[in-house]
Structure 1
Amino acid sequence: MLITDTNQRINAVNRAFTEITGYSESEAIGQTPRLLASGQHDSAFYASMWHQLAADGHWQGEISNRRKNGELYPSWLTINAVRNKANLTTHFVAVFADISSLKHAQARLDYQAHHDPLTGLPNRTLFESRLQSALLHSEESGSLGAVLFLDLDRFKHINDSLGHPVGDLLLKGIAHRLKETLRDVDTVARLGGDEFIVLLPGLLQPSDAQAIANKLLACFNTPFEAGEHELYISPSIGSCVFPTDGTDVATLVKNADAAMYRSKAKGRNRVESYTCDLTTQASERIALEQELRRALDRNQLSLAYQPKISLLTHTLIGAEALIRWNHPTFGDVPPEHFIPLAEENGMILQIGEWVLEQACQQMGKWRKTCQPFGPVSVNLAGAQLRQTNLVEHIEQLLADNGLEPGCLQLEITENFIMSQTQEALAVLHKLKKLGVQLAIDDFGTGYSSLSYLKRLPLDILKIDQSFVRGLPEDTHDAAIVRAIIALGRSMQLTVIAEGVENSEQQQFLTREGCEQIQGYIISLPLQPEEFSARFLLMNLSDVSDSTAAKPPL
């Protein structure tokens, strides 16, 4: 506290004054409060203060002061005028408190409210505020800007296989590298999970956004250190420019997000720019996702069965259960359109469990009415393999439907199986011990280590149809297929080729020693009743030469 006369000369101070300001009583007496002036306030500030004091005899507010050692500190100041009996002001009493700790606490709260706690990057709130400011400046100056949406490719596999602590270290490393790559005026924010968003203000031309996006893409070429791990990961990046592609925050974020999804659809690890048609596609995608959530309850999903034959005996040796979605408005929705949606929104577990149940029930029905013909294979989603009760659930399903474990074959993609932890591999060994057959699907499209493959309890290698399609003319595909067949033989695994469409492909595969095939040359995937009529209730002397109708090749 301090007391001044009407000439603002300090008459008295208390001990707290000395503790806060550093000035002793003798140093303060006779001085004016300008002794504490910080230089942070202009003359208009003080004029307003004295005007209110003269009118009301009272002023209160926050003020910045300076200690004797030169340090600035925030203060909450209350000034009251003291009047005599004649109502004339004789003194002013000023009471103030050092609110530094309060301001620091407010600053921490403000930082926490506007920054991601893991990476320290701005969060969505701060990003949108800065984007709004950039849009206003763009409107006033006529300058361009851009928004980039980054989504990390297959980050979930890293998180699930190596654990969240490693995933968090990776996210921190990515955040640091993104900041280092961008300009000082740019903002990179984390939206949550594995999504980042970037604001690029003050661009001269739209191609500048593409150039910066390509720099961000390139910065992922070097591996990231995450504890003891050295990890490679790539982003899918979507870009939109303002004001061309939008003039408000929500539209620009939505359009950049739509462009990012096109990047993923085109193979990931690339930059895609927004175009008008993406708005329609994004709306359709949202509608599709909403309808997918209702599809199971409305009995819109079904299983179709595609036969597999032996190239040695030309007899039926199994079938693959393939999910189908017939929507009353959208018609037949291809699995490649809705399965990725299910993986993103978490429905893949529910759908995967439904597929297993339906396939086992159908096998149980065929077991009662038809001769055994081999296992039915089901695609197992990665999320299912991570379920702790998977083995017990499958064992119960088989028992409920009167099936031996050998009646079921589970197909797991190469890329997924290569990214799994010892815990997930232990589940595979339990399934193998149970008697369920295990196949590695889409073989040749991933990055398998042969030493790693030898540790897996596999029964079957499935050659991806992308390599079969060019046979026998494409020498590159032919060489890959020969190598896979040789690998399977050396590891004592059965090799099956999918997507076989013509007799030339079938003859090539037979010559090279492939044991099984499936594809249009045999049949399209069929509903259970038609599958039974065509393949289970007939004499299969040579399925590949069957006179049953086949689709055009």
Structure 2
Amino acid sequence: MPLARDKDVAVSPDLYSAGLGTALLVTGSSKQQSWGKRWLSRAGFDVKGAANVDDTLRHLADMRPSVVIVDARMRDVTGRSLFELVLEKRRNNACVFVLCKSARDMEDVARHEDAEILRKPFNWQLFSQRIMRAAAMHNMQQELLHARKALTAARLDATSAQRHVLAMRGIDSLTGLPGRERFINHIARLRKSAAENSSPAVLVLGIDRFDLINDTVGHAVGNQVLHQFAERLHALLEKDDLLSLSDTSTLTATAGRVAGVRFGLLLSVTNVDEIQRIADAIGSCFERPFDSDGQSIYLSITMGAACMIDDRAPACNLLGLAEQALEEARRANVRLEFFDPSSANQRARSLMIEDMLHTALPRRQLNLAYQPIMDFHGRSVVAAEALLRWSHPEIGEIAPDEFMPIAERTDLVSDINEFVVEEVIRQAAEWAQTVDAPGRIALNLSYAQLMAGNIVELMRQSLSRHSVTADQLQVEVRESDLLNRSESVFDVIYQLKGLGVKLAIDQFGTGAFSVALLEQLPLDTVKIERLRVNAPRHDRRSDAIGAGIVAIARRLDLSVTAVGIESDAQIQRLRNWGCNEFQGNFFSPPVAASQLTADTIPGMKDRFRSAAALRATGRHAFVPDMRPESRPLTA
């Protein structure tokens, strides 16, 4: 059949401006190249030609054509049909048309659903119309796909913006309840406005063993349950009979999410019996199961309560006292415990420490000590953990375990963050210029520290100010601070990783630990808790668990640091597990930064010489010169 000439066809003017994209015409026939380019150009395509395999693949990569027309009989060097290769290599799901000269060609092409057949005789006038329609449909589909992606991105941005707005307002994004800081503000306002015959009281509800739910059905379902928990608590507070004292008197109540799986209830009460009644109603309410996709999930809760004792005490103290009562209830295995005023001595000390803590930083009473982290051989200090110390001129040394929980209940934790981050990075800059100094500094941050202020921006600015590379800093987060937490803390961790900071999970392997954390977080190091390290040497069960934990971490290419080393026998045992770094008083207690090199730590080299001598006599001891590649990666 003769090919139609230009004057024989009237082409729609719309085709010249259709903007159909690029068409790639692949054929070794100069005649088909000529006629194909003419008619495809008239249809609105930018046409490129290719006569061999190499040109075809290059054009596919560079041009990203919306349409490819390829001769069915063209093959690559292996004898494979070129159109099959085009189907694999095409971008943006380009339309593929195959020129078929025989029935066998059409049979080969028909086996591929994504390829369309153009059969002989080749009438390019008709072909161009058909290809034009296919390309127009393809472009519409691509535009729809891009629109869907843009809509999804916009929804994600809107969700993120909504969470940001809620966070700025002090609202927990998961439950819609006031967060801890806003809840404390509610306490302060209620204390000022409370009637003469009533006083503020806080009832804290803690969900027991919630980590089992996360580990069993996943964090997504766990978040759903927390959301339902908050809704049920809110609905309970709206019941008319719960807060009614009489026909004319009603209690006021405000709920909030004060920690990961802890909820606070702020009440204005006249006596303890009212708190007991409300606690009983709450306990009965949460005996009913929660539903998640048809699955019933039962929760048990423990409660702690406290009433305002001292009008001068900060509002956060009342919440803290209720949380102390909650912990006491758990220890006593009872549903509700009231804060015992007989513990006033401890409370008085806490208030005194809180008061002194406000002046500790300005008076330079806080400082950092550093405990070395030794390499596999025990010859070099490869890192150091920064440990916060408070030396008070009158009271003496105050342990971090005592003053940090107090700081975390107040805004003082932000000030401590600024001091610690600045001092650690300043020290890292100094050590970077010192021979035999540690290559990185480990900094342990609690959940409250991670969520207080912009810890990420603090580190970014300090790293830049001191010209310190981020990998000189290792942020350690306790495993217990990651379980049952909102996504916000994981966002902070990923932002820190984005700076280039090394990340470690501390105190791993005790309690209800979650191996999933090793997979979910961008970790560099796992630190084995001292309780695991100090387990009896001949305890086969404990030894198997410890070795298994280390083996998993090493298989994930994580460094493993054993903490709390006190003897060379422990080192040998932990090296057999696969640990490659060691920390503990066996090497050195925490010391001043000026003392932290292998030459200046008192007695370090003598300890290792002694250990080697013991082994030479046949006694079990740590051997400093064993090659690291000899250590096993499995239990």
With normalisation by structure 1, the TM-score equals 0.57
Could you tell me how far apart the structure 1 residues matched to 2:434 and 2:560 are? 29
Q: Deviations over 1:174-217 (max 9, x none)?
A: 355589998987987536644326769797xxxx9999968866
Of 500, 504, 508, 2:565 maps to 500
1:370 to 427, 435, 442: 435
**Match for residue 394 of structure 1?**
459
Is 1:196 the equivalent of 2:258?
A: no
Q: Residues 213-264 of structure 1, C-alpha deviation per residue, up to 9 Å, x if partnerless?
A: 6886686576768999989695551479xxxx99x9999x999978634335
Structure 2 CA distance, aligned partners of 1:402 and 1:256? 44
Per the alignment, residue 6 of structure 1 pairs with: none
1:237 equivalenced with 2:304 (yes/no): yes
- Please name the residue that 1:263 is paired with: 325
Q: 1:450 to 1:511 in 2, by over 3 A?
A: closer
* Matching residue's letter, 2:524: D
Q: CA deviation at 1:397?
A: 2.0
Distance 1:312 1:319 in 2: 16
2:585 paired with 1:520: yes
Equivalent residue letter for 1:354: F
Distance 1:381 1:334, change over 3 A: same
Q: Which moved more, 1:348-357 or 1:364-373?
A: 364-373
Which amino acid in structure 2 is aligned with residue 526 of structure 1?
A: V
Pair 1:334 & 2:399 matched: yes
Aligned to 1:173: 232
Partner of 1:354 in structure 2?
A: 419
* 1:344 maps to 2:409: yes
Read off the aligned partner of 2:576 and give its amino acid letter. Answer: R
Deviations 1:494-551 (A, max 9, x none): 111222223343332122222222122222211223335864799858669699xxxx
Question: Which among 349, 368, 371 is matched to residue 284 of structure 1?
Answer: 349
Structure 1: runs of 5 or more not aligned: 1-116, 134-146, 548-553
The answer to which of 168-177 and 341-350 deviates more is 168-177
Which of the numbers 392, 395, 405 marks the counterpart of 2:470? 405
**DSSP-derived class of the 2:383 partner:** strand
Task: Decide which of 414, 421, 437 is 2:502's aligned counterpart.
Answer: 437
Aligned 1:10-25 pairs, distance under 5 A: none
Closer, same or farther: CA 469–219 of 1 in aligned 2, 3 Å: farther
RMSD: 5.3
Match of 1:150 in 2: 203
CA distance in 2, matches of 1:373, 1:278: 44
2 CA distance for matches of 1:405 and 1:254? 35
Are the equivalent residues in 1 in contact too, given 2:371–2:385 (CA < 8 A)? yes
Contact 1:238 1:273 in 2 (8 A): yes
What is the one-letter code of the residue matched to 2:557? Q
Partner residue in 2 for 1:293: 358
Amino acid at match of 2:412: M
In structure 1, distance between residues paired with 2:471 and 2:451: 22
Contact 2:369 2:389 survives alignment (8 Å)? yes
Q: Shift of the alpha carbon at 1:268?
A: 5.7
Question: What are the Cα deviations for residues 47-69 of structure 1, in whole angstroms up to 9, with x where unaligned?
Answer: xxxxxxxxxxxxxxxxxxxxxxx
After superposition, give the CA deviation of every residue in 1:14-55 in whole Å (9 maximum; x if it has no partner): xxxxxxxxxxxxxxxxxxxxxxxxxxxxxxxxxxxxxxxxxx
- Counterpart amino acid of 1:505? Q
SS in 1 for 2:390: strand
Equivalent pair of 2:243/2:252 in contact (CA under 8 Å): no
Matched, 1:417 2:479: no
Structure-2 separation of matches of 1:212 and 1:487: 47
**Which is worse superposed, 287-296 or 501-510?**
501-510
8 Å CA contact retained: 1:170, 1:226: no
Q: Deviations over 1:85-142 (max 9, x none)?
A: xxxxxxxxxxxxxxxxxxxxxxxxxxxxxxxx989x9995899769759xxxxxxxxx
The residue type equivalent to 1:490 in the other structure is: R
Closer/same/farther in 2, CA of residues 250 and 537 from structure 1, 3 Å limit: closer
- How many residue pairs were aligned? 403
- Using the TM superposition, give the Cα deviation of residue 431 of structure 1 relative to its aligned residue in structure 2, in angstroms: 3.4
2:304·2:325 contact (CA, 8 Å) conserved in 1? Answer: yes
Distance in 2 between residues matched to 1:341 and 1:324, nearest whole Å: 15
Q: Secondary structure at the match of 1:371?
A: coil
3-state SS of paired residue (2:482): helix
CA distance in 1, matches of 2:587, 2:207: 35
Residue 274 to residue 380, structure 1, CA distance change in 2 (3 Å): closer
- % identity of equivalent residues: 28
Q: Is the 8 A contact 1:325 1:332 kept in 2?
A: yes
Match of 1:380 in 2: 445
Kept after mapping to 1: 8 A contact 2:329/2:337: no
2:69 equivalent in structure 1: none
| Secondary structure in structure 1 of the residue aligned to 2:436 | coil
